[in-house]
A and B are shown apart, each in its own frame.
Chain A
């Protein structure tokens, strides 16, 4: 082993994956696998006791899941740089992992091709995503945040008050209940309902309730 080799711990619950990754990395003389963990608890223990330069971390592990281990690593101010191993790119997970301090994300099926380069890049202070070093992390985070933001709710042209009426209809309220709730007359409630029916193309309260449930038509600000 070279004296200045990169010391790596592999954390994955699957023994075949660990053996496969270890063998891949052994081909790189600059990298030395110093430990293997079967779950998040072991990963944290090895990170604390061996102080590896890099932790390769599977996100879906038993006991302490990878994301939780990553959170604890960051909270514990460990110097180890973490690279997340994943089966598929879930943008929300990538964003969360980066926010928790991960330095790279490598797809498992691209490990043989990219892992060594990723480890080297991360050791040089770079971030690694989608098979290459990241040039502008701020932009990547901004893009990921935009891509993972929930889509704006479709309201089908209903006003805020009409949406509130719809919500009460789905709860089974009568016109009288609705009128009392909003302090308006039953005539006004009927007018709202007529407008709602016309805008949504439904013919009765049952159809309206089903439409609302199918299209998540809830008032602005209500948690869906």
Chain B
């Protein structure tokens, strides 16, 4: 269940950090890029909701993809549910996007704790 998932999978984060041990700045930059892109995708999803389901499916897949690779498992799960729902429904529910926003905020908070506030995209520092 998405509700029981931690925002960030520690194993993925730690192994990726280890893999990029020689470039910690690049590591932080990678997660900042992820957050920037994820918030942007969420805004596009909101613009497409509730009825542009093919666009919603594609954007949800896009968000799930990067979230999986970087260990943001809860966001990935919720985006995956949105993607699956868009395959079979003619519209999407607003609260699905709200749940993704909450999960993304949790990831952002955890990343800020682990990497410092510099990981938060400039326009999201007040979020």
Contact = CB atoms under 8 A, between A and B. Distances in A.
A29 B27 CA distance: 19
Contacts of B69: 16-17, 20-21, 108-109, 111-112
Given A14-B62, A14-B66, A109-B9, A24 B16 contact: yes
B73 A23 contact: no
A27 B19 contact: yes
Interface residues on A, range: 20 to 34
B30 A20 contact: yes
B70 interface: yes
B64 A87 contact: yes
Contacts, number: 75
Interface string A81-99: 0000001100000000000
A58 interface: yes
A14 B15 CA distance: 20
Given A23-B16, A112-B19, A13 B62 contact: yes
A39 B56 CA distance: 19
Nearest to A88: B80
Contacts of B20: 23, 26-27
B35 to A, nearest CB: 10
Interface string B12-34: 10011011100100110010011
A111 B68 CA distance: 9
Interface residues on B, range: 20 to 34
A15 interface: yes
A23 B18 contact: no
Interface in A92-137: 107-109, 111-113
Q: Is the interface of B mostly helix, strand, loop or mixed?
A: helix
A60 B61 contact: yes
A63 B19 CA distance: 32
A12 B16 contact: no
Contacts of A88: 80
- From B9, B61, B69, residue with most partner A Cβ within 10 Å: B69
B34 A16 contact: yes
A220 interface: no
B100 interface: no
B36 to A, nearest CB: 9
A58 B65 contact: yes
A61 to B, nearest CB: 10
A19 interface: yes
Interface of B: 9, 11-12, 15-16, 18-20, 23, 26-27, 30, 33-34, 37, 58, 61-62, 64-66, 68-71, 73, 76, 80
Interface of A: 12-17, 19-21, 23-24, 26-27, 58, 60, 87-88, 107-109, 111-113
9 contacts: A14-B37, A15-B33, A17-B65, A20-B70, A27-B18, A87-B68, A108-B65, A108-B69, A109-B12
Given A16-B70, A20-B66, A112-B11, 20 more contacts: A15-B37, A16-B33, A16-B69, A20-B69, A20-B70, A26-B19, A26-B20, A27-B18, A107-B68, A108-B65, A108-B68, A109-B69, A109-B71, A109-B76, A111-B68, A111-B69, A112-B15, A112-B16, A113-B11, A113-B12
